[in-house]
Amino acid sequence: MLSRYCMRSMRSKQLNPVLRGTVWVLVFLAGGAAYAEPELKTTPQAQPAHPRQAYQIVCEVTWEGDPARYAILPAETETIDWGTVRVKKSIATVRDGMNLVSQTVEIVPEKVGEFSVPAITIAYLHPEDISPSETNASRTDPPERGASPTLASDPFTLRVQPDRTLAWVSGGLGVLSLCVALGWWFAKRNRKRRAERPSPSPAPDIASAESALKNARQRRINGEYYEFYVELNRAVQVLSPSQPENDLAARLKTRANDVGFRGVRPTEDDLEGDVRTVERALKKMKEELNL
């Protein structure tokens, strides 16, 4: 619209020379804005390159105006002797009011080192400049690159680093194996120490000893001398659970057998002496336990 207005103004004889020159400048700028040439932006991936792993470079061609103004051709680059190069995919879209054709160039390095990535070139065509004979369906040859405008990126140096993933995995497995081995060794050592450590002696049962001593006194009153010695023997055994067959217990057991199976009648001195011996043992044990 601006161009048509400017052309009508140019034809007007009432337009002075200075204003006419200004109109020519506006026509030139309007035509230049309407047909701005495409621009190329390349973005290498942020992650480092590794041997035998794809390294991608995104090439974006953008322009303003009519999306059909330009036809973008596939990206090209020189062959490399340190890997392979291919154009993986191409996407055409509109972003922020700009026509965008995005192409992904994929490089697969074969070795470690620093290498020069050659310039990536992308040619484009003006569809209206292609003659009908060139767009005929029978034509199979691609257009000549030399006859088409071309966009090119700057070469850059790519550093291909060793892939340390396997090393980290191997190291992690090694550390894990070491931890498992150490854990097994510590567990075995602790089991051995527990087996060698003497088990704590069972605590004397003071209440049971007092009960057995009380029963023994009652058996003496009843004249049940065999049962009397059985109860005294039980009192001594619960006072010394770690050594139930001690000297005192053995002597009382012998007295019980003599009375019960041999018919021996103990004297009053024997009965009183044995009771007092067990009472002293009970008193001593209570003192040791601070009871």
215 or 13, greater pLDDT: 215
Please give the pLDDT value at position 196: 64
- Express each pLDDT in 83-93 by its tens digit: 999 998 889 99
Please check the confidence at residue 58 and state whether its pLDDT lies above 80. yes
Does residue 121 share a domain with residue 52?
yes
Q: What is the pLDDT of residue 144?
A: 59
Tell me the pLDDT tens digit for each residue of 215-235: 999 999 999 999 999 999 988
- Is residue 198 within 8 A of residue 182, CB to CB? The reply is no
Domain span holding position 116: 39-132+140-160
Q: What percent of the chain has pLDDT over 70?
A: 74
- What 3-state class would DSSP assign to 71? strand
Distance CA 144, CA 204 (A): 108
> Are 47 and 113 contained in the same domain?
yes
Looking at the structure, tell me whether residues 280 and 218 fall in a common domain.
yes
Is residue 167 assigned to a domain? no
Say if residue 78 is in the same domain as residue 150: yes
Given a cut of 90, is residue 245 above it in pLDDT? no
CA angle 15, 18, 20 (to 5 degrees): 50
Whether residue 50 lies inside any domain: the answer is yes
**41, pLDDT greater than 90:** yes
Neighbours of 57 (CB within 10 A): 22
More confident residue, 272 or 14: 272
Domain total of the chain: 2
Is residue 26 in some structural domain?
no
Instruction: Tell me whether residue 112 is in a domain.
Output: yes
Query: What confidence tens digit (pLDDT) does each residue in 104-142 have?
Result: 999 999 999 999 999 999 999 987 666 555 555 444 455
Same domain, residue pair 153 and 44: yes
Number of residues in the chain: 291
Rounded Cα distance, 48 and 38, in Å = 30
Q: pTM for the full model?
A: 0.46
Specify whether the CB–CB gap between 93 and 100 falls below 8 A: yes
Give the pLDDT band (50/70/90) at residue 171: low
Distances in whole angstroms, Cα of residue 60 to Cα of each of 47, 108, 111, 120, 191? 19, 20, 28, 11, 68
Considering the chain, what is the average pLDDT of its residues?
80
